[in-house]
Amino acid sequence: MKIGLDMDGVVYDYVANLSNLIVADGGDPIPDKIGWFKPAELWPPYFDNPEKVFFDGDPLPGAVEGCAKLFELSDELWIITAARHEAGPYKLMWLEKHGIEYDDFVITGLDHSAEPKSAIKCDLYIDDGAHNIQELYNNTEADLIIFEQSWNKTREMWDLEWKSDRVNRARNWYEVVQIVEDLTGGE
């Protein structure tokens, strides 16, 4: 099984790290339900320094161990992340710093002219972005895991899950691994 794994909001605690940077500079923390895309619109100065935003943050709880299990269970584990291209080297260093193994790393870009995540053909995608899940649902036959975050608990996301048995929701990394073990037969 080839797995496409999102990074920010699934493996890397992007919003918490950005919020910590803002607070350290005297600003207010990011509200819990603001969504992952809003910080890029509200705090552009931080995006001129991708090293700060994408290198020093923490993984989400269970992510390092969960990624190790996915690497073991998959034929291929691809990190498929949407980011400005200059963030790529820092994201790669972050993955190395945390000992996260993967087979390939792809940046799809943030603008709408960039290639969508579905251009990387996988059997399973794990993502927290509602727009990504919808795009993958519409353009692939792959299984999908919605990694639950405050910004993707919308009625539309729940409706999408009810439409298909190939869409699953995981509230944490333990549940991600359980779903992947079920899909792969634990092998």
Task: Please tell me the pTM assigned to this model.
Answer: 0.89
As a residue count, the chain comes to 187
- Domain parsing of the chain, residue ranges: 2-13+59-184, 14-55
Element (H, E) at 107: strand 104-107
Task: Say if CB 49 and CB 76 are below 8 A apart.
Answer: no
| CATH number for the segment(s) 2-13+59-184 | 3.40.50.1000
Q: Which helix (H) or strand (E) holds 145?
A: strand 143-147
Tell me the pLDDT band of 131, cut-offs 50, 70 and 90. Answer: confident
Per-residue pLDDT tens over the stretch 47-78: 677 777 787 889 999 999 999 999 999 999 99
Q: What is the pLDDT of residues 137-183, one digit of tens each?
A: 989 999 999 999 877 776 566 666 556 788 899 999 999 999 999 99
